[in-house]
Amino acid sequence: MSIFDDTRADILSREDSALEGRLPLAVEEIIEAELEYFNQSVSITNHNQIPDTPQIPIQNPTTWLKIPDVICCFVDMEGSTKLSASLHDKTTAKAYRLFTETAIRIFHKFGAAYIDIKGDGVFSLFNKNQPYTALAATISFKTFVNEHFTPKVQKMTEQYVGGHFGIEQKTVLVRRFGLKSYQNRTDRQNEVWAGKPINMAAKLASLSTNNRLWVSDRFFRNLKDERAIHSCGCPNGEKVQLWTKEDLSADSRFDFDTAYSLGSNWCEKHGKSFCSGLVKLDNEN
Ligand SMILES: [Zn+2]
């Protein structure tokens, strides 16, 4: 019998012979079972690629997958606290949908291996051989925020609501926790990506202002192609270096010292061809 088969009613009604004690028996049983797993050894299987979600372990309590150099793109709203569910409920509802749903659908179109919502942001995971795709997807979403999201929300609320964008890359452990199925509900389980890239991508994103994308130097080292480093040359034919070096050595939240930030969005004339050209580089690998 699974320890999760007990329901709340059991806690209240089940005969509990001991009247004294700190915790209800059902709670004690959960804790005991988990402490037992804690004492068992863990089995970690190396996996070169991010697995399809149904393949992520949930039943065997000691099994994990380890995936090297996962790329995490994180986006959330800059200034979302200016949107209020009590004051402007309809505008807030629309803004959340426009930002979040568009992010999920763009990352999906670019073939992200995994997408989820974290807080009021969205993160997407790409395999280590997809750096240009991860970058192209994030710049595409960033361009949307700049061109459509911010001006539309500004028009309705007279507030600046922009986007935070961050990308980081590192090894993760993954498994699913929770109840595999419970009355057809899926809210009692989720994938847990243990390791730094998701938190670091979110923290990098939180540093970004004015529609800039911040990436760690670990991710930046993937970018060798000219189109990811220099501009197309518009409007005056002068190709400029796109990235600004950012010093994070004084910020103890990061386990790297250098990040790079990008202000530009897809160019009106060359965006399409740069975007598809970059994605193609990953497919050639
Ligand atoms: Zn151009």
Q: 233 alpha carbon to ligand 1 midpoint, in Å?
A: 6
Average pLDDT value for residue range 118-125: 92
Q: 91 alpha carbon to ligand 1 midpoint, in Å?
A: 34
Q: Are 214 and 207 in contact (CB under 8 A)?
A: yes
Rounded Cα–Cα distance for residues 78 and 73 (Å): 16
Q: Are 202 and 166 in contact (CB under 8 A)?
A: yes
> Could you tell me the domains of the chain?
42-284 (3.30.70.1230)
Rounded Cα–Cα distance for residues 91 and 156 (Å): 7
Q: 234 alpha carbon to ligand 1 midpoint, in Å?
A: 4
Helical segments of the chain, H only: 8-13, 25-39, 89-109, 131-144, 150-157, 197-207, 217-220, 226-229, 271-284
Q: 140 alpha carbon to ligand 1 midpoint, in Å?
A: 15
Task: Quote the pTM value.
Answer: 0.91
Give the angle subtended at the CA of 275 by the CAs of 262 and 270, to the nearest 5°. 85
Q: Which residue has the tokens 């750096």?
A: 131
Q: 280 alpha carbon to ligand 1 midpoint, in Å?
A: 19
Indicate the pairing of strand 162-178 with strand 63-78. Answer: antiparallel
Q: 266 alpha carbon to ligand 1 midpoint, in Å?
A: 8
CB count within 10 Å of CB 251 equals 13
Q: Which amino acid, one-letter code, is at 65?
A: L
pLDDT digits (tens, 9 = 90+) for 240-275: 999 999 999 999 999 999 999 999 999 999 999 999
CB count within 10 Å of CB 160 equals 12
Residues 6+ apart with CB under 8 A from 175: 56, 57, 58, 63, 64, 65, 191, 192
- Among 10-14, 54-58, 223-227, name the one with the lowest average pLDDT: 10-14
- Of 33-42, 48-57, 87-96, 133-142, give the range with the top mean pLDDT: 133-142
Q: Is the peptide bond before 235 cis (omega within 30 degrees of 0)?
A: yes
Q: 158 alpha carbon to ligand 1 midpoint, in Å?
A: 31
Rounded Cα–Cα distance for residues 218 and 200 (Å): 12
Residues 6+ apart with CB under 8 A from 198: 72, 74, 118, 123, 168, 172
Which tokens hold the place of 19? Answer: 């009247």
Q: 270 alpha carbon to ligand 1 midpoint, in Å?
A: 4
pLDDT digits (tens, 9 = 90+) for 163-207: 999 999 999 999 999 988 778 888 888 999 998 889 999 999 999
